[in-house]
Structure 1
């Protein structure tokens, strides 16, 4: 089978795929065959681990290094991407790479603010622009957002602003690219425990506090998010576009009584 109509033989680019949610997405997309381009910024060993995970899942993978948020980032990334594709079209683009929250108003420096927007907004915008000539008609664009866009968390104001921007980008691009059959959606994880951030949730009482605010009564894991991305990348989601899919287990829906 070929293209997004089937699961085998697809090509995907996943940014920020050296660990955590990005690593899980890469492995999940490869689970039924195909080739995943594993983008990483600095974590070369993590990218190598992702390549191994993809191969164990039955797919093929190659790692591409490019620091995002700096001049020439998209050109560097796509020099590697085009080499990996070797003339084949791209089926799936997942914008997962992101800079972490920098702090509340009054604590975030101008440099931190600018970096957040450079990595979380500017990079995915121009990655999409550069990917479009390579992306097959009927392809998929999925960007990872955050439940921070619907929750008033003063410690994540600037971060939430960046994620709200890519949600708006997804809606407008869905309208623009619909005639090509390309779907564009965002996925918004909540509290997701990964190997990289596990120490955060080891703070006494924090995991229990978040769980108490979550309808499904547990923390999320990378696979919880990766499965949602894989669904949106599949032919089963061909009629879903311009949407933000909450993948938080029902975090902060309201009082639990």
Structure 2
């Protein structure tokens, strides 16, 4: 007999319960972007298969039961299969390989999907609950900077956008607003208080470019008349003559001292 005896050991047939997922996407996926993954098939002992020809697919399920199918599948004819797909929503997603019609349970992997930064044209400035185009002086309201698709499908922002928000008052003063990443990290919220009577503008920008809906214009009216804040003027205040007409002017104002013109 020849010594040493050299044997070539080959992997067995593809085992439907075994497969391995590979790729940078396992470290995190950006929603709405084309993503790639590789599936490595294995035999029942965990050896990598070296030939193709099996029916391999991906099962992807996300929040609220959302399911996604692959855009493209390529059999590399070496036991690996390349996949391209798009995940539309952020959150935790479960990805599994499906080999010859059966889920390869050992391939089950959970990945975190996040939103990528948006540009200005994909964002909109929108009034919060109770916000009207005509407000009363002293009222406080929330205003949101969000994705155009937020109301339609919940599309969120990444939190990495370079945003600015300002309030311009009728007197010409500009106040910098301090938006926070709200709504479980999907849009920005700023709180505004109307201190003056007249036209106010809230302006917002992403990356130095104005967003849709900016400026957000609100006309502010005075509050109800406040007697302690009203002012008297006129010659009648200097003195009056019995039987003669005296003139006193009453200037009505609200509790913040704003003049009432109606």
What TM-score do the two structures reach when normalised by structure 1?
A: 0.20
**Larger-gyration structure (1/2):** 2
What TM-score do the two structures reach when normalised by structure 2?
A: 0.20
Higher RCO, 1 vs 2 (CA within 8 Å, ≥6 residues apart): 1
Judging by fraction of residues, say which structure has more strand. 2
Judging by fraction of residues, say which structure has more helix. 1
